[in-house]
């Protein structure tokens, strides 16, 4: 009897785990709208209503994931009330404010749809534009980015820096978009699966998708002036974007071969060291033997450049070890397969 009881409990546990796995698997027809919320109590009600109106006009099932990024204005209670009335609304509460990128990643993690659509929670994006993005996905694109062509923000503090940043990002990354900062985008899950973002890097998600071979386009979307609350971003965000852009460029060019970067810098430093040392010897023994060896800064430059070159080489070797540990410890591959034919599952 005791054995039967244990077997029944084990069977029940397996069924529970199986149901959990089933619920966590992506649904091929589901649309997931992911929205970070931070002190948007004045906008939440109207936002959810507009999403419902837009989604009920199209035939696919949908879900709304609202991520409370540590709000302190009562947004958490409003979100719980909305979720209690509509099971299609999922709410995720952070313990504290982690930032827009972290909130957006949480929305992706909790989404079950094969198409994920992030957007802002301040009513500046219009959910009625979502069908435009879906229509582009149906044409065969993997990522559709919104373009706030007529942006309703402060011209000097927001619009002008954004234009310059978008041009710089397009030039550095090779992904030609007018508006990387627009949160309203549509992604096929397969092109962002496994991508982890940090800092302010959510705006670079189309670039990561491009690395996965995604086809990217953009459509013009509506943009409205903020009706409630205040913007959480200022000009200091430009500096963060520039710093993140350097990281993205490094990952694009040198993620699998960091020695090319550090080794190149090391060889450059060694070249400067040898050149400076050679000039110092020339000035001492051939040009003006009477002057002391340290009468010019060349010996110091040679020593500093030589030490810097050695450090660069050592950092490159260490980075190579980290890269190999990253891939081999997790069983990751350095390539991505789009499709196979006559290949056994799991190979």
Please report the pLDDT score of residue 340 as a whole number: 57
Question: Token digits for 18?
Answer: 């199986």
Cα atoms in the 13 Å half-sphere on the side-chain side of 317: 6
Domain ranges of the chain: 24-254, 258-329
What is the pLDDT, as a whole number, of residue 197? 78
List per-block mean pLDDT (blocks of 10 residues) for the chain, which spans 347 residues. Answer: 43 40 58 93 91 91 93 91 93 90 90 93 91 93 92 72 85 89 92 79 88 90 76 64 81 84 93 92 78 80 94 93 80 63 61
Length of the chain: 347
Instruction: Retrieve residue 209's tokens.
Output: 């998708």
Q: What is the pLDDT of residue 11?
A: 42
Is the CATH code 3.30.470.10 the one for domain 24-254? no
């Amino acid at each position: 009897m005791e054995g039967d009881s244990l077997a029944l409990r084990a069977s029940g546990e397996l069924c529970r785990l199986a149901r959990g796995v089933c619920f966590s698997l992506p649904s091929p027809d589901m649309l997931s709208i992911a929205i970070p919320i931070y002190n948007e109590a004045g906008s939440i009600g109207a936002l959810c209503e507009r999403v419902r109106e837009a989604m009920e006009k199209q035939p696919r099932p949908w879900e709304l994931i609202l991520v409370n990024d540590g709000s302190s204005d009562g947004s958490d209670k409003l979100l719980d009330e909305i979720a209690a009335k509509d099971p299609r609304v999922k709410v995720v509460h952070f313990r504290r404010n982690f930032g827009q990128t972290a909130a957006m990643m949480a929305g992706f993690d909790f989404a079950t749809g094969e198409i994920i659509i992030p957007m802002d929670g301040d009513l500046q994006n219009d959910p009625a534009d979502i069908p435009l993005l879906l229509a582009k996905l149906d044409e065969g694109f993997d990522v559709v980015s919104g373009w706030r062509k007529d942006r309703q923000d402060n011209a000097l503090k927001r619009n002008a820096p954004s234009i310059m940043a978008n041009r710089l990002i397009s030039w550095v990354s090779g992904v030609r978009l007018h508006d990387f900062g627009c949160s309203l985008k549509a992604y096929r899950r397969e092109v962002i699966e496994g991508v982890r973002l940090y800092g302010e890097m959510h705006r670079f998600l189309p670039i990561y998708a491009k690395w996965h071979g995604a086809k990217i386009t953009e459509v013009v979307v509506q943009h409205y002036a903020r009706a409630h609350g205040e913007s959480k971003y200022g000009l200091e965000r430009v500096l963060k974007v520039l710093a993140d852009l350097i990281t993205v460029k490094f990952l694009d060019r040198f993620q699998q071969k960091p020695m090319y970067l550090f080794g190149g810098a090391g060889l450059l430093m060694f070249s400067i060291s040898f050149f400076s040392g050679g000039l110092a010897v020339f000035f001492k023994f051939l040009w003006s033997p009477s002057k002391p060896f340290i009468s010019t800064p060349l010996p110091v430059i040679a020593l500093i450049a030589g030490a810097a070159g050695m450090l660069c080489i050592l950092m490159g070797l260490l980075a190579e070890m980290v890269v190999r540990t990253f891939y081999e410890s997790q069983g990751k591959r350095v390539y991505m397969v789009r499709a196979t034919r006559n290949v056994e599952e799991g190979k």
